[in-house]
Every structure is written in structure tokens, then in C-alpha cells.
Copies of this chain bind each other. A is one copy, B any other.
Amino acid sequence: MTNTALPRIGILGGMGPLASAEFVVKLVQATPASCDQQHFPTTLDSSPQIPDRPASIYRGGPDPMPAMTEVIRRLEAAGCALIAMPCNTVHHWYDALAAQTTLPIVHIADAVAARLRVQVPGARRVGVLGGAVTSDMGVYSRRLGDAWEWIYASDHSLQTMVLPAIAAVKAGDLATGRRLFLQAVQEMLEHRPDAIVLGCTEIPVVLTQADVAVPVIDSTEALALHTVATARAMHTADRT
């Protein structure tokens, strides 16, 4: 089959809404294009009413799966050819979501691994700064095994710095979010990581490489690059 139309990228978004919006910006910036028409058609389905993910795991809150499955159904109906989820936590449900659709879903840990290999080829100890689900459920180690030694934030850091920082960014209080994330980075640096993954898409909203003394992998940017690479590969395959 010859198909020269670019594949439509679908985004299961809204967790949180600002991180999803910044992801779309990074997706556009990650695309080599000299005019509008060379950019991938994209559908962002931002559905912030999806039940709180940590609450469903830790506090018996409602299951987010039905609402997330609805989003996937809408992305399929919109003609999407692949799906990206700019939220680390939601990758706890990756296998369950992938089972709901024939569309490929780009995994954020694969995206981060690809960046690690390019940016910090010698890295062995890698810190993952992320939400409670990401560390407790081993979103990175479960997908990537022991290719790297994963370091997660301590419980103290999670409770007093990372989680309040995530909540602050979601509430639009970027200054507080930034201050608390910087403290969590300092604590993580005591474990001497070779690199730190900003493993919650709320973090790169307020923190950049310039703030951290070791190489930083922005999981949002990594996902954008990997999504574009995947879409380009699908397009090339379609044309041959």
C-alpha cells in the first residue's frame, strides 16, 4: 500500500493539562519541518477529569481505566495512527491500555532510555525524580530492567518535596513548585547519580538542565522526540 499522508499522532492528555500543552509545544519543536504542511497532524485529547491516579492506588479512589479507555476510543475515531501519553504515572497502566487498542502506544521509559543512550552513554546510576506511583510501581525498572541502576526519591523527599511540588505546578503556583523540586534534586544528588530523569511531566515545566549539576533527561522532551521518530518510521514504512 502506498500512503503519503503523514500519520496522525494522538495524545492521551490532561494529566496534567499544562504538562500536556507543553508536550504539544515540544512535539512541534521536535519535528523537522519548514512549513505547516510538513508537521504531523495531531489530536490532543486533554481530559483532566480522568480520576486521580495516585488516589486510585493509595486511597481506594475510582479507577481511571474506563475514562482513559474512552480517550483512546476518541483518538481512534479521530484517525490517529499512534498514541503518546505525556504523564509518567499513567504508564503504570501501560499494559492494560495497550491491550485496549491495536494502535501502538509510545512508552515514556523507552523514550527516556533512547535519550540516555545518546546524551549520557556512560551512565549507570540514574535518578528518577517522579511521583509516588512512578517510584513505588517501578515504571522505569519494570520496562527497562537493570540496564541502569534506578535511584528513586526517598519517602521523606516524596512527601515533603516532590508531591507538594507536583500539586503546586498543577495549581499554577510555579514558583513554589520550582523551589520544592530544586530541594528534591539536591537530596537526590547525595546518591551520586550519573544522570537525573525528570520523571514527572510537571517537573520540566519549572526546571531545566541549567538548574542541575548532572545531565538531565526531560521525560516530556524525550517522549516528544521518540514520538516523532516513531511517526516518521511509520510514514517511511507506509511509503515503501
B-facing residues in A15-44 (Cβ within 8 Å): 15-18, 20-22, 24-25, 27-29, 31, 33-44
**Which of B15, B21, B49 is within 8 Å of A28, CB to CB?**
B21
Given that A21-B24, A25-B22 are contacting pairs, would A41 and B48 also be in contact in the complex, using a CB cutoff of 8 Å? yes
**Which of B16, B39, B50, B79 is within 8 Å of A17, CB to CB?**
B39
Which bracket fits the contact residues of A? 35 or more
Please name the residue on chain B nearest to A11 by beta carbon.
B44
CB distance from A49 to the nearest CB of B (A): 6
B-facing residues in A44-93 (Cβ within 8 Å): 44-50, 52, 74, 77-79
Q: Give the number of copies in the complex.
A: 2
Chain B residues positioned under 8 Å from A40 (CB to CB): 48
CA distance A21 to B27 in the complex (A): 9
**Which of B36, B38, B42 is within 8 Å of A44, CB to CB?**
B42
| Residues in chain A within 8 A of chain B (CB atoms) | 5-6, 14-18, 20-22, 24-25, 27-29, 31, 33-50, 52, 74, 77-79, 167, 170-172
CA distance A17 to B50 in the complex (A): 26
CA distance A1 to B48 in the complex (A): 23
Please name the residue on chain B nearest to A47 by beta carbon.
B41
Given that A21-B28, A25-B25 are contacting pairs, would A45 and B78 also be in contact in the complex, using a CB cutoff of 8 Å? yes
Residue pair B41, A49 in contact (C-beta under 8 Å): yes
**Which of B33, B35, B170 is within 8 Å of A36, CB to CB?**
B170
Residue pair A52, B29 in contact (C-beta under 8 Å): no
CA distance A77 to B6 in the complex (A): 22
Please name the residue on chain B nearest to A32 by beta carbon.
B172
Residue pair B172, A29 in contact (C-beta under 8 Å): yes
CB distance from A164 to the nearest CB of B (A): 13
Please name the residue on chain B nearest to A205 by beta carbon.
B25
Residue pair A6, B37 in contact (C-beta under 8 Å): no
Residue pair A21, B17 in contact (C-beta under 8 Å): no
**Which of B29, B44, B48, B49 is within 8 Å of A46, CB to CB?**
B44
**Which of B6, B14, B35, B43 is within 8 Å of A39, CB to CB?**
B14
Chain B residues positioned under 8 Å from A36 (CB to CB): 14-17, 48, 50, 52, 170
